[in-house]
Amino acid sequence: MTIQILIADDHLLMRQGISALIQNQPDMKVMGVAENGQLAVELAAKLSPQVVLMDISMPILNGVEATHRILAANSSIKVIALSVHIQKHFILEMLSAGASGYLVKDRAEEEVIKAIRTVTANHTYLGQGVIDVVLKDIINQRSTVHS
């Protein structure tokens, strides 16, 4: 079974690079690309991909709101956030919006294929660096509660 993917990123080079990585996988296919969040919502509704790779900072509609809208229309789609942002609030916003994964762009080449396979197996994927931020937040919350 071929995993069908939509890429949403406002940078052409990023869309092209990720498309090339995915096209090298025999069981994956890029169904479409979007350069803004509104187009991502429209294409997700039209194409029903299994996975959307979603940049957070995009014009017209940001990735958080686009994720909300995509998942409200089709909750079976898996969204993986792709971002340069590794701050806690960005991570939590995307996960709260329903994203199944979060990758930092500077590691995307190494992790994107593994992330796609992980989320399509109904698991959550947090990339390197993202895990550190989430764990530190959990530890800080626990130490605040126990103080």
| Residue 28 amino acid letter | M
Closest CA to 88 of 15, 141, 41, 51: 141
pLDDT per residue over 83-134, tens digit each? 888 888 899 999 999 999 999 988 777 799 999 999 999 999 999 888 888 7
CA-wise closest residue to 97 among 45, 37, 42, 140? 37
Asked whether residue 138 carries a pLDDT value surpassing 90, the answer given is: no
Phi-psi map region of 31: left, alpha, beta (phi>0 left; psi -120 to 50 alpha):
alpha
Cα(105)–Cα(98) distance, integer angstroms? 19
pLDDT digits (tens, 9 = 90+) for 5-50: 999 999 999 999 999 999 999 999 999 999 999 999 999 999 999 9
Task: State percent of the chain over pLDDT 70.
Answer: 96
Backbone φ/ψ region at 98: left (φ over 0), alpha (ψ -120 to 50), beta: left
- Give all domains of the chain, ordered by start, each with its CATH number: 3-145 (3.40.50.2300)
Residues in a beta bridge with 128: none
